[in-house]
Amino acid sequence: MSKKSIDSISPSWVEGELRLVGSLDSRMITLLKAIEQSGSINQAAQQTGLSYKGAWQMIERANNLAPKVLITTVTGGSKGGGTCLTDAGKSLLQLFTRIDLKHRRFLQQLNQDLAEDPEVQILLKRLIIKTSATNQLFGRIIDVHEGAVNAEVLIELKGAEQVVVALTLAELKLLNLSVGGDVVLLINGPEIIVTTDLVSNAFSARNCLRGIVIRVQSDGVDSEIVIQLPSGDSLLAIITQTSAESLGLKPGISVHAIFKSNAVIIGVI
């Protein structure tokens, strides 16, 4: 992925898992298929990522729910025993396969209809962006300043907070950024400095967002600090646990999240 761009993603507005009578879902059906192919609960459990005990519990639950036994187990015998589906179990597999096909076709048609609806584009488009960055904020470009080599883009967030993003002129042209355009800002947690006192500390970073700590989670080395901005958006900063303790960070404390303009990845929506 380019430092200043994100990949486009095909929209899937509506998702849904097919489930029959409570616990007969795709996971259970996958287990039944594996049993039919292998003739062994142990092998089927390994193929589907289940423990032997977990597979047995699913089978017992399915057998209890179904009007007829779905699976039979034979011990010993000339072939050494094994597990197989009954006629009812095979019928259930066929039924689920038919319903699943219709279910997927329904979702495909529904998503296609929604993708052609302009109101859906406005309301839901932001929700399908996937990224590995810790923080994802949306805003609108309110100013673009071009220098000889680099450019600065000023973005206003939902709560009227402003963020400056530095990028090259080539990146500015590639993304076709202009005033009024909607963008997404990606910021990794370790790039954010947290302070409770701006007066006593000097920072060269261009961006400073005020917020309230709503959660602190430590692992013995680092601490994750979740900061809620006035708009309701949240930022997650990762600092050392020692720093978090020295700052006295806890829910309700007012802080400032500080980060450099070149620490922000910008993407077009």
Q: What is the per-residue pLDDT across 224-244, written as a single tens digit (0 to 9) for each?
A: 999 999 888 889 999 999 999
The confidence band for 79, taking pLDDT boundaries of 50, 70 and 90, is very low
The confidence band for 15, taking pLDDT boundaries of 50, 70 and 90, is confident
Distances (CA, A) of 195 to 235, 258, 261: 14, 8, 18
The confidence band for 6, taking pLDDT boundaries of 50, 70 and 90, is very low
The confidence band for 50, taking pLDDT boundaries of 50, 70 and 90, is confident
Instruction: Please give the CATH number for the structural domain made up of 132-182.
Output: 2.40.50.100
Residue range(s) in the chain whose domain bears CATH number 1.10.10.10 = 19-115
108-136 average pLDDT score: 67
pLDDT reported for residue 77:
45
pLDDT reported for residue 135:
86
pLDDT reported for residue 216:
93
pLDDT reported for residue 11:
55
105-110 average pLDDT score: 84
The residue ranking higher by pLDDT, 14 or 170, is 170
At residue 252, φ and ψ (nearest 5 deg) are: 100, -15
pLDDT reported for residue 268:
81
pLDDT reported for residue 84:
86
Cβ atoms within 10 Å of 50's Cβ, excluding its own = 19
**Residue 157 pLDDT more than 80?**
yes
Distances (CA, A) of 35 to 30, 41, 136: 9, 6, 43
Q: Which residue is associated with the tokens 């430590």?
A: 218
Write down the pTM of the prediction: 0.54
CATH class of 19-115: mainly alpha
Q: 208-223: per-residue pLDDT in tens?
A: 999 999 999 998 899 9
What single letter denotes the amino acid at residue 114?
A: L
**Residue 95 pLDDT more than 70?**
yes
Q: Domain 187-260, what architecture?
A: Beta Barrel (2.40)
pLDDT reported for residue 249:
94
**Residue 74 pLDDT more than 90?**
no
Residue range(s) in the chain whose domain bears CATH number 2.40.50.100 = 132-182, 187-260
